[in-house]
Amino acid sequence: MRLLLEKRSEHSQLMTVISPLIAVALTLVTGGFMFLAMGLNPFEALYVYFLEPLKFFWTFAAEDFWPLEQLAVKAAPLVLIGAGLAVAYSANVWNIGAEGQLTAGAILGAVVPVYFTDWQSPLTLIAMLALGAIGGMLWAAIPAFLKNRFGASEILTSLMLVYVSQLLLDWLVRGPWRDPAGHNFPQTVAFADWQVLPVFGESSLHLGVLLAVIAAAALAFMMARTLKGFEIKTLGVSPRAGRFAGFSRAGSVWFCLLLSGGLAGLAGIAEVMNTVGQLQPKISPGYGFTAIIVAFLGRLNPLGTLIAGLALAISYLGGEAAQVSLGVSA
């Protein structure tokens, strides 16, 4: 029998929802076989990996709530970056360097605690967050300029700039920004008071989690309801029609890179203002790269990245749990 693949005449709403679920299911099956090959019980391993962090939902035990908070804290930067990337990728602007923009944001935001260590006011917090976003935007402006001026592929330039920013960070924390009272460890002064993100009550949920939810919702609204969102989608799927509609390709390159870069920078400064608490040579476990998966798993829909971000955060948490309880190397 001959198999014919035929293109649908229209998008299928059903498949839009189902296909990422199929992808997740296939991942679980593949993962199960890999655990089996490592001599582990695949069901136990998959339980530890994917379900244990969510235990609260069926035990309702107070001590099981903590992993959920951790999940949200891990998901926050993924969603923040992923939502911005989803918008950029919708316009066919391939920002692969969110990790670099995250680092640049953390660096610029850290100017405040490093040089104005004693300045403590609510404005300190706002200034750090704003500088973080600006740092990410400036870093993303480089590929945007190169793309529009010289036609350089933003895929390459944004990716290569990741390593530039990471080396810059490395140099700063080992050199000029090293904490003089830090026993020669490569790190800046520890951030304190208004230099760290406020948390909600007794939990570990910090302001960054809220910012991530707001960003995803705001971008989802922009894409669905505004002319700007329409412009981005049009230029993404049909550049010629976009030009006919009077939309500027160069303008969308700027907009998308500045937006996704700014959000990555915000995620970067939020990360060092909470989990890390100071600048170190390594400030992120690769959130900027994982967020690319988040954007696609969320079907390039900013709201979808909320779910995708949580899914990927589970794999981070589960990966740590698996190292501890199963003794596998991550």
Name which position in 23, 25, 245, 250 contacts other proteins (CB under 8 A): 245
197: nearest Cα among 205, 187, 207, 189: 207
Find the binding residues for other proteins in span 1-60 (CB under 8 A): 9-11
Q: Determine contact, residues 52/318, Cβ cutoff 8 Å.
A: yes
* 181 three-state secondary structure: coil
Does the footprint of other proteins cover residue 243 (CB under 8 A)? Answer: yes
Q: Where does this chain touch other proteins (CB under 8 A) — which range of 37-45, 152-160, 229-237, 272-280?
A: 229-237
Both tokens of 315, joined, read 């794999």
250 lines the binding site for other proteins (CB under 8 A):
no
Pick the stretch among 42-50, 172-180, 234-242, 259-267 that binds other proteins (CB under 8 A): 234-242
Given the complex with other proteins, which of 15 and 245 has the nearer CB atom? 245
Q: How far apart are CA 215 and CA 76, in angstroms?
A: 10
Which of 72-80, 96-104, 188-196, 222-230 is the region at the interface with other proteins (rule: CB under 8 A)? 222-230
- Looking at 70-78, 102-110, 235-243, 321-329, which segment touches other proteins (CB under 8 A)? 235-243
Binding status of residue 240 toward other proteins by CB under 8 A: yes
Tell me how far apart the alpha carbons of residues 169 and 171 are, in angstroms, rounded to a whole number. Answer: 5
Residue of the chain from 227, 250, 282, 325 that contacts other proteins (CB under 8 A) = 227
238 binds other proteins per the rule CB under 8 A: yes
151: left (phi over 0), alpha (psi -120 to 50) or beta: left
CA distances from 262 to 226, 251, 271, 283, 310 (A): 20, 16, 14, 17, 21
Instruction: Pick the binder of other proteins from 44, 241, 286, 325 (CB under 8 A).
Output: 241
How many other CB atoms are there within 10 angstroms of residue 7's CB atom?
Answer: 5
Q: Are 109 and 303 in contact (CB under 8 A)?
A: no
Residue (100 or 242) nearer to other proteins, CB: 242
Residue 175 binds other proteins (CB under 8 A): no
Q: Which of 201, 246, 324, 329 binds other proteins (CB under 8 A)?
A: 246
Q: What angle do CA 297, 204, 192 make, to 5 degrees?
A: 115
Token reading at 328: 């596998």
Question: Radius of gyration of the chain from Cα atoms?
Answer: 21
CB 238 → other proteins: shortest distance, Å? 4
Q: Is 226 in the site for other proteins (CB under 8 A)?
A: yes
Round to whole Å and give the CA distance between 2 and 5: 10
Q: Which is nearer to other proteins, 242 or 304 (CB)?
A: 242
Q: Contact region for other proteins (CB under 8 A) — 102-110, 133-141, 164-172, 230-238?
A: 230-238
Q: Which is nearer to other proteins, 59 or 226 (CB)?
A: 226
Task: Answer yes or no whether residue 151 interacts with other proteins by CB under 8 A.
Answer: no
Question: Among residues 17, 163, 192, 225, which is the contact residue for other proteins, using CB under 8 A?
Answer: 225
In whole angstroms, what is the distance from residue 259 CA to residue 268 CA? Answer: 14
191 contacts 278 by C-beta, under 8 angstroms: yes
Q: How far is the CB of 8 from other proteins (least distance, A)?
A: 9
Q: Which of 205, 201, 198 shows the shortest CA–CA distance to 73?
A: 205
Residues that bind other proteins (CB under 8 A): 9-11, 225-228, 230, 233-234, 237-238, 240-241, 243-246
